[in-house]
């Protein structure tokens, strides 16, 4: 515990001095109270929504991590210290916390006396007294690199293929390819009808040049997208805590046990809140077993998904983030680069998700494949302070290990590892190293997602309390406005399908003109920690506000061109409320300085011809409910997971052209 806690304390020192002081005060008080009153339950539990947590610990990088290292666990809506947690561990932690607190209060800068590394020395690596910590970290990299070979078992790959509905996924990929090609053809036809400033039609070559794109999607890339979506929504499921097999009530984590089973890292013991029966949750590391259990957390998800990708012939590697997350990367032959793939989130090519969306303070991110091990931290961060957090070993030691392991892998490769393959891997590695070099200020690197913060939301996998405890439920949001074109269309139709988490813009014939993925990507304003929740047991999906928020609020904005008026405005939306919860809709029309606000009496179908505006705001509020799960009682866009084609929201504006 000591080394890990020291690392967390070094993270804590990177915060502003006032944030450090507040967090250390709370952590010290928690330790003092428990040690003084070890049998008092009230001192062993603190609600996640308590201001001491939300206002003082969550804002401090490393504070929640310290709490976990002291032995606390996330228990529903509480952090709690189990009765069987040894007080000696807490006493050692108390001593380190008080040492740091006294140092901070006296104005002394630098890390704790036992950490062996100061912030100023972090970029140059660990000092001699950190040798054990450094060796442990480097040994973990070595063993994990060896474990990556388990995905190369040919018999296991053949076995894995039987679990994948490859024909269906390939058909969906082909449909997307055809839709993309049709869209390109339509754009070219529209371009042909345009005139240049001199009034002459553009040449065919010029039209093709204007419509060319750097990299068209391939069937392999589109199939990967379908594979991730299938894995997330049909194949694998997230496990927070098992239900009791005797009374079907919820269980909560109680302790870890370790078994003499190489297929399992540990066994979590969860205790029923009602009958106190115990349920086991084995944390399997064997990917073959995971194909049958089909449940777990990010480690299990990435493990099984990486195996599936390898069985389908994708060059794939598993990626470990030292701040506690795991995902995959897949080599794209069309783009000649590694693509970030997170099956837990159903996300591709958004490497800045964790730093910008989840607000993680990243340090080490290491990728492992059959060919090589690589430090890929720089793909996932744009934070110049990341070097201050890389204190587990020296940079030279890490680089030397990576070079040695890669050279050993090349030398030990069997006859099936051809010279052509070796040359390809070397060339690919050089391309990646060039990609990972820091970009000049103001430029956008590959995979930055156009550098649009709007694309990076908070974490969606795991229950709300767990994500909130980890500080990964983001409230950041960039406003988006739907802008209606000045075409001759008679209608503007905006649809949102929650089962696919996608927006569609349609014309009066219901022809899809444009699409946009992600519910938050099309929203102008969002308050109350709104998130997309999937209930696997009830097979339902909906938007809800986060726990602890009395009100959730979402606003969509639409701008109209000057040459059209509104003949009719229509709104349809699917909602569900329980236990005295409410969902209120309003329509706001803005025309220069004039504002009209219309209440919506029935969102199942609402229409008005009294709306004349250049901008429209459609706002919905989620409020009310009963008890600790009141957030769940107002469900926006509630739909069955099986209702794949049903729209959850439709805004239809019938237009009247004035010119």
> What are the residue numbers of the active site?
298, 325, 342
- Strand, helix or coil at 225? helix
User: Alpha-carbon distance 416 to 406, whole Å?
Assistant: 17
Which is it for the CA torsion 162, 166, 168, 169, positive or negative? positive
User: Alpha-carbon distance 48 to 58, whole Å?
Assistant: 10
Position of tokens 């990929």? 173
Position of tokens 């938007």? 543
Strand partners, 617: 557, 588
**Residue 312 CB neighbours (<10 A):** 18
> Do the beta carbons of residue 91 and residue 41 sit within 8 Å?
no
Intra-chain end-to-end CA distance of the chain, in Å = 73
User: Alpha-carbon distance 173 to 312, whole Å?
Assistant: 15
Angle at 536 between CA 534 and CA 538, to 5 degrees: 100
- Strand, helix or coil at 549? coil
Which of 141, 112, 107 lies closest to 8 in space, CA to CA?
112
Which is it for the CA torsion 278, 469, 31, 111, positive or negative? positive
CA dihedral 392, 393, 394, 398 (to 10 degrees): -120
User: Alpha-carbon distance 319 to 364, whole Å?
Assistant: 10
Beta strands, E only, 422-521: 481-483, 491-497, 502-506, 512-517
| SS (HEC) of 32-84 | HHHHHCCCCHHHCEEECCCHHHHHHHCCCCCHHHHHHHCCCEEECCEEECCCC
Please report, for residues 15, 54, 352, 409, the alpha-carbon distance to residue 361 in angstroms, rounded to integers and kept in the order given: 11, 18, 12, 32
Strand partners, 477: none
- What stretch of H or E contains 652? strand 649-657
- What stretch of H or E contains 208? helix 204-211
User: Alpha-carbon distance 280 to 305, whole Å?
Assistant: 24
> Do the beta carbons of residue 531 and residue 460 sit within 8 Å?
yes
- What stretch of H or E contains 146? helix 131-147
Strand partners, 88: none
Write out the two tokens for 33: 């109270």
Kind of pairing between the strands at 634-640 and 540-544 = antiparallel
> Do the beta carbons of residue 508 and residue 570 sit within 8 Å?
no
């Amino acid at each position: 515990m000591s080394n890990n806690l020291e690392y967390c304390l070094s993270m804590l020192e990177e915060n502003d001095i006032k944030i450090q002081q507040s967090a250390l005060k709370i952590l010290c008080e928690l330790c003092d109270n428990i040690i003084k009153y070890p049998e008092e339950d009230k001192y062993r539990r603190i609600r996640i929504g308590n201001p001491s947590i939300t206002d003082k610990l969550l804002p401090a990088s490393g504070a929640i991590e310290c709490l976990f290292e002291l032995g606390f666990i996330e228990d529903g809506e509480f952090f709690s210290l189990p009765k069987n947690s040894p007080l000696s561990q807490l006493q050692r932690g108390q001593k380190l916390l008080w040492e740091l607190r006294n140092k901070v209060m006296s104005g002394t800068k630098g890390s704790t006396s036992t950490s062996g590394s100061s912030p100023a020395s972090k970029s140059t690596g660990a000092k001699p007294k950190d040798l054990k910590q450094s060796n442990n970290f480097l040994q973990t990299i070595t063993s994990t690199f060896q474990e990556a070979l388990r995905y190369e078992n040919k018999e296991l790959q053949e076995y894995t293929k039987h679990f994948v509905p490859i024909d269906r996924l390939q058909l969906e990929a082909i449909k997307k390819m055809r839709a993309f090609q049709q869209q390109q053809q339509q754009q070219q036809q529209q371009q042909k009808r345009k005139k240049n400033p001199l009034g002459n039609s553009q040449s065919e070559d010029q039209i093709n040049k204007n419509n060319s794109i750097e990299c068209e999607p391939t069937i392999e890339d589109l199939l990967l997208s379908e594979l991730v979506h299938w894995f997330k929504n049909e194949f694998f499921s997230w496990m927070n805590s098992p239900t009791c097999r005797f009374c079907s009530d919820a269980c909560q984590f109680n302790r870890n046990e370790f078994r003499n089973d190489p297929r399992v890292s540990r066994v979590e013991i969860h205790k029923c809140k009602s009958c106190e029966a115990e349920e086991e949750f084995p944390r399997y590391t064997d990917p073959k077993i995971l194909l049958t259990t089909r449940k777990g957390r990010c480690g299990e998800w990435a493990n099984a998904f990486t195996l599936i990708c390898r069985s389908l012939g994708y060059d794939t590697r598993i990626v470990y983030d030292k701040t506690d997350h795991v995902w995959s990367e897949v080599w794209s032959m069309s783009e000649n680069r590694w693509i970030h793939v997170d099956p837990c989130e159903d996300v591709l090519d958004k490497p800045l998700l964790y730093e910008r969306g989840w607000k993680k303070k990243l340090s080490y991110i290491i990728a492992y494949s059959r060919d090589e091990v690589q430090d890929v931290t720089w793909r996932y961060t744009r934070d110049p302070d990341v070097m201050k957090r890389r204190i587990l070993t020296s940079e030279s030691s890490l680089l030397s290990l990576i070079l040695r392991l890669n050279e050993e892998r090349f030398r030990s490769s069997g006859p099936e590892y051809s010279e052509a393959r070796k040359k390809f891997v070397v060339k690919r590695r050089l391309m990646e190293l060039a990609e990972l070099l820091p970009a000049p200020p103001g430029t956008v690197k590959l995979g930055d997602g156009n550098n649009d913060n709007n694309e990076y939301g908070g974490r969606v996998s795991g229950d709300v309390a767990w994500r909130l405890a980890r500080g990964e439920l983001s409230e950041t949001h960039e406003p988006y406005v739907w802008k209606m074109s000045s075409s001759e269309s008679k209608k503007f139709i905006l649809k949102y399908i929650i089962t696919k988490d996608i927006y569609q813009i349609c014309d009066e014939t219901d022809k899809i003109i444009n699409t946009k993925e992600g519910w938050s990507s099309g929203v102008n304003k969002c308050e109350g920690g709104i998130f997309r929740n999937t209930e696997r047991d009830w097979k339902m999906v909906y938007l809800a506000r986060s726990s602890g928020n009395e009100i959730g609020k979402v606003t969509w904005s639409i701008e109209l061109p000057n040459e059209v008026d509104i003949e009719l405005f229509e709104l349809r939306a699917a909602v569900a409320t329980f236990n005295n919860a409410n969902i209120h809709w309003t329509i706001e029309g803005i025309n220069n300085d004039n504002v009209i606000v219309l209440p919506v009496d029935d969102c199942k179908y609402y229409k008005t011809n009294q709306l004349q505006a250049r901008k429209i705001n459609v706002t919905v509020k989620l409020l009310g409910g009963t008890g600790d799960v009141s957030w769940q009682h107002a469900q926006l866009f509630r739909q069955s997971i099986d209702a794949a084609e049903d729209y959850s929201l439709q805004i239809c504006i019938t237009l009247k052209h004035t010119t």
